[in-house]
């Protein structure tokens, strides 16, 4: 997330590829992946799957 924020602050448009991203599961705090995707949705310009990204390139 720090890299994402840094790039946004530098003026880049950032897309997160959600099925090429990972995060840990915590026994008490829950699903880190789901939490990360929620955060990315607020910060990034887009959160897409690999297939969606490829479709925009074709």
pTM of the model: 0.81
- Say what angle helices 32-43 and 2-9 make with each other, to 10 degrees: 0
Q: Chunked in runs of 10, what are the mean pLDDT values of the chain (58 residues)? A: 93 96 86 92 96 95
Q: What is the pLDDT of residue 30?
A: 86
The closest of 46, 42, 57 to 17, measured between CA atoms, is: 46
Domain ranges of the chain: 2-57
What's the CA gap between 33 and 48, in Å, rounded? 14
């Amino acid at each position: 997330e720090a890299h994402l924020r840094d790039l946004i602050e530098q003026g880049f448009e950032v897309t997160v590829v959600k099925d090429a991203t990972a995060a840990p599961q915590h026994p008490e705090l829950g699903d880190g992946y789901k939490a990360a995707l929620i955060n990315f949705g607020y910060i990034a310009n887009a959160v897409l799957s690999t297939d969606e990204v490829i479709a925009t390139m074709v």
